[in-house]
Amino acid sequence: MSPSAAAARTMPEIAREFGLSDAEYALSLSILGREPNITELGLFSVMWSEHCSYKSSKKWLRTLPTKAPWVVCGPGENAGIVDIGGGQVAVFKMESHNHPSYIEPYQGAATGVGGILRDVFTMGARPVANLNALRFGSPDHAKTRHLVRGVVAGVGGYGNCVGVPTVGGECTFHSSNNGNNLVNAMTVGIADADRVFYSRAAGPGNPVVYVGSKTGRDGIHGATMASASFGGEVEAKRPTVQVGDPFTEKLLIEACLELMATDAIVAIQDMGAAGLTSSSFEMAGKGGLGLELDLDAVPQRETGMSAYEIMLSESQERMLMVLRQGAEDAARRIFEKWELDFAVVGRLTETGRLVLRHGGEIAADMPIAPLAEASPEYDRPWRAPAAAPMLAADAVAEMLPPPDALRKLLSCPDLASKRWVWEQYDHMVMADTVRRPGGDAAVVRIHGTDRGLAVTTDCTPRYCQADPRTGAMQAVAEVWRNLTAVGARPLAITDCLNFGSPERPEVMGQFVAGIQGIADACAALDMPVVSGNVSFYNETEGAAIQPTPQIGGVGLVDDLDRTAGMAIADGDALVLIGTTAGHLGASLYLREIVGREEGAPPPVDLAAERMHGDFVRRLIAGGRVDACHDISDGGLYVAVAEMAIAGGTGAALHLESEALPLFAVLFGEDQGRYVLGVPAATAADLVAEAATAGVPARVIGRAGGGDLTVNGDWPISVQELAAVNEAWLPAYMSGQRPEEDR
């Protein structure tokens, strides 16, 4: 709403419309010592919005492990930083753009990618990889196809143009996302360790500079939109959607990195949610300084913008910097070369106040520190989620012969190949993509070296729904396992915590349990959280999404000659690492084949997880593994089928001596397991070695031939497996129902 439209109402009423509670409004009065004007009220409301203040989550976020010897910078900056050796660091973060992507999928997804890229290059890093996690509603839901098409095109449209490869991600479907899809975007960058930039302002008198695109009226109150659940009137929110300009972002990356090679920059912060407001508060606040801004100097795309609109605009591709005094001209030349706006818009002061001048008047004058300090923190009531009961394998009916169940699983929406998605993403630009999308983790070479970064994003929302704590633990463990499966040493994670309304105790309980699960897993696996984002209010008319604590992980590959992929080779022995208990609760088999969504998720034994993974990583580092794949959705049978598809060769599984029902062995989703393809002659030694190390391992079959078989039966050709796996998504997307596409 515009200030003029608000003029007829009283300030407390407007405060409520802006999303401030009565207590928060009272607090703003006591901080200012007077009634705020409309601009100031706008600033309070966005700074104290859930999106900017983390008021419901910060009590819990503080409990996450964030330190390790290789962690250079943990949460609290634009992105987290870890040491990757060679005088370089990896900078990364994941962020949600859920609400905007539901309202306008192409632009919502595109600007999500743009925002997370800025978080990373703001710190001096060149982005080297993008990933994402996309959660859509049921394929049968009327909006789903339209959302998939728009989101995928938006992610690609932005990343492709900017020239950063999109190398990995997830894309799944569930009815709990019918009214709230999730679009989580992650960027990984690389910087020289001595060229990292932070947002803490310093040096009163130093100029504050605005660079990038001009400011328009787009996205005003986007941050508060992200802090409210959808009612019925989604359409009416459309004007707050921002439009991305990846071309300008590409220029901004190059200009910023060029300027960062000099000594001009004291501090830098991108203008993301709440635009100029949060960037100026954050920079000055961290430095304990004041800031005076001349809003007339802000480059503007539209005429007649009010101070309120300029401060709250979420126009994209903009940055705020503090420069050394005297560096303005050299900086200006760089930005002009790249055809970008550059304007000195203010100075740092010692007053500790944010003062905005506009049209010859003071548009706002408010203290910075009290606003941050008094930023509300809620200890919201929460109710521990009831644990779903364990489901014994014999309580599950075998509905289909296993080979038919395999066909059905490989073609179900969650397991079907996502080639249709990632072929729309340029995943090879920068010419360092060593392992492309479709495997456990992607690997990008650290430019100019023989080392690499492994990257992945994972979460299994159905596990989190059944047991938020175990589910969150499993998400972290699966990231760790996927990094391990390509031979990488896991370093750290970023989390993107997608939940329903924190105002409901049961949702808050899911959140609290989720945090506990992440914390336990991070501690046990020595993989701290270095950055993250919380997205609450993912619910529509009281129906919340399945809890989705999406985890993004980065690992280091010390020698690119020693990594592994999924492709088995003819003659390989197949070795199963880990313990099989036939756990079918909350499994994909149960949901897709039996039609039940119930039971506890598979337990996560973090000590075993670590022992198994460390053993596998040593084998890969020793060059003793031809192929490696972790066992996750769909269980062992699906994992081997995927390895056969990747290798273009069949495999004969021999599971005759199992005590458990065969279908539970084939489809159970027990954790901490891998399938290795190893030269057959070495298999016996390897199994003996595992036994010495206390790691369960046994030979379960052999790669070769044209068919996948189990105990000499049920042949399915590799061609059929591949065809079944590839068919669903393109067929689904071509079944166009155009009335949804508007």
Partner 1 sequence: MQAVVIVFPGSNCDRDVAVALERAAGKPPLMIWHRETDLPLADLIVLPGGFSYGDYLRAGAMAAQSPVMREVRARAGAGVPVLGICNGFQILTECGLLPGALLRNSGLAFVCRDVWLRVETADSVHTRAYRPGEVVRFPIAHHDGNFRADPDTVRALEDGDRIAFRYCNPAGEVGGGANPNGSVDDIAGILNERRNVLGLMPHPERLADPRLGGADGARMFAGLVQALA
Partner 2 sequence: MKARVEITLKQGVLDPQGKAIANALEQMGFAGVAGVRQGKVIEIELAETDARRAEESVRSMCERLLANRVIEDYTVELGI
CB atoms within 10 A of CB 186: 32
What are φ and ψ of residue 511, in 5° steps?
-65, -50
SS3 15: helix
Q: Is 739 in the site for partner 2 (CB under 8 A)?
A: yes
Residue 238 binds partner 2 (CB under 8 A): no
Contact call for residue 730 and partner 2 (CB under 8 A): no
Q: In the complex, what is the shortest distance from the CB of residue 245 to partner 2, in angstroms, rounded to a whole number?
A: 18
Contact residues for partner 1, defined by CB under 8 A: 153, 156-157, 160-163, 245-248, 250-251, 337-339, 422-434, 436, 445, 560
d(CA 404, CA 410): 10
Q: What are phi and psi of 66, to 5 degrees?
A: -130, 5
Instruction: Give the three-class secondary structure for 83.
Output: strand
Q: Supply the minimum distance, in Å, between the C-beta of residue 736 and partner 2.
A: 7
- Residue 140 binding: pick among partner 1, partner 2, none (C-beta 5-8 Å cut-off by kind): none
Could you say which of partner 1, partner 2, none residue 383 binds, taking C-beta under 5 to 8 angstroms by partner kind? none
CA distance linking residue 189 with residue 129, whole number of Å: 7
Q: Please tell me the distance from the alpha carbon of residue 326 to that of residue 723, in angstroms, as a whole number.
A: 63
CA–CA gap between residue 452 and residue 559 (Å, rounded): 7
Q: Which is nearer to partner 1, 110 or 529 (CB)?
A: 110
Give the residue ranges of DSSP H helices in 393-440.
Answer: 402-410, 419-422
Q: Residue 386 burial by CB count (10 A; 0-12/13-18/19+): exposed, middle or buried?
A: exposed
Candidates 317-325, 545-553, 576-584, 732-740 — which segment interacts with partner 2 by CB under 8 A?
732-740
Task: Tell me whether residue 329 or residue 739 sits nearer to partner 2 (CB atom).
Answer: 739
Interface with partner 2, residue 339, by CB under 8 A: no
Determine the Cα–Cα distance for residues 185 and 649; give it in Å rounded to an integer.
34
Q: What is the DSSP letter of 57?
A: T
Figure out which of the listed residues 13, 263, 296, 741 binds partner 2, where binding follows CB under 8 A: 741
Q: Could you count the other beta carbons within 10 Å of the beta carbon of residue 731?
A: 12
Angle at 535 between CA 198 and CA 482, to 5 degrees: 80
Q: Which is nearer to partner 2, 238 or 737 (CB)?
A: 737
Is the CB of 206 or the CB of 433 nearer to partner 1? Answer: 433
Q: Which one of partner 1, partner 2, none interacts with residue 463, CB within 5 to 8 A by kind?
A: none
Q: How far is the CB of 457 from partner 1 (least distance, A)?
A: 19
Interface residue with partner 2, options 205, 304, 622, 738 (CB under 8 A): 738
Q: State which residue, 160 or 206, has the beta carbon closest to partner 1.
A: 160
Say which entry of partner 2, partner 1, none residue 738 contacts (CB below 5 to 8 A, set by partner kind). Answer: partner 2
Question: CB-based burial of residue 23 (10 Å sphere; 0-12 exposed, 13-18 middle, 19+ buried)?
Answer: exposed
- Between 679 and 718, how does the x/- string for binding to partner 2 read (CB under 8 A)? ----------------------------------------
Q: Which does 35 bind (CB under 5 to 8 A by kind): partner 2, partner 1, none?
A: none
CB 116 within 8 A of CB 185: yes
When CB distances are held under 5 to 8 angstroms depending on the partner's kind, the choice from partner 1, partner 2, none that residue 681 binds is none
Out of 7, 232, 542, 737, which residue is the one contacting partner 2 (CB under 8 A)? Answer: 737
Of the two residues 205 and 738, which places its CB atom closer to partner 2 in the complex? 738
Q: Which residues are catalytic?
A: 51, 97
The rounded distance, in Å, linking the Cα atoms of 132 and 151 is 11
Sequence-ordered alpha helix ranges (H) in 104-143: 105-121
% helix / strand / coil in the chain, to the nearest 5?
40, 25, 40
Tokens matching residue 255: 């200009």
For residue 13, the partner it binds in partner 2, partner 1, none, with Cβ less than 5 to 8 A by kind, is none
CB of 9 or CB of 447, closer to partner 1: 447
C-beta of residue 411 within 8 angstroms of C-beta of residue 678? no
**Nearest distance from residue 145's CB to partner 2, in Å?**
13
Smallest separation (angstroms) from partner 1 to the CB of 129:
14
Q: Could you tell which of partner 2, partner 1, none binds residue 737, using a CB distance below 5 to 8 A set by kind?
A: partner 2
Both tokens of residue 112? Answer: 């999500």
Report the distance separating Cα 431 and Cα 444, nearest Å. 9
Q: By CB under 8 A, is residue 736 in contact with partner 2?
A: yes
The minimum distance between CB 737 and partner 2, in angstroms, equals: 7
The footprint of partner 2 (CB under 8 A) covers: 736-739, 741
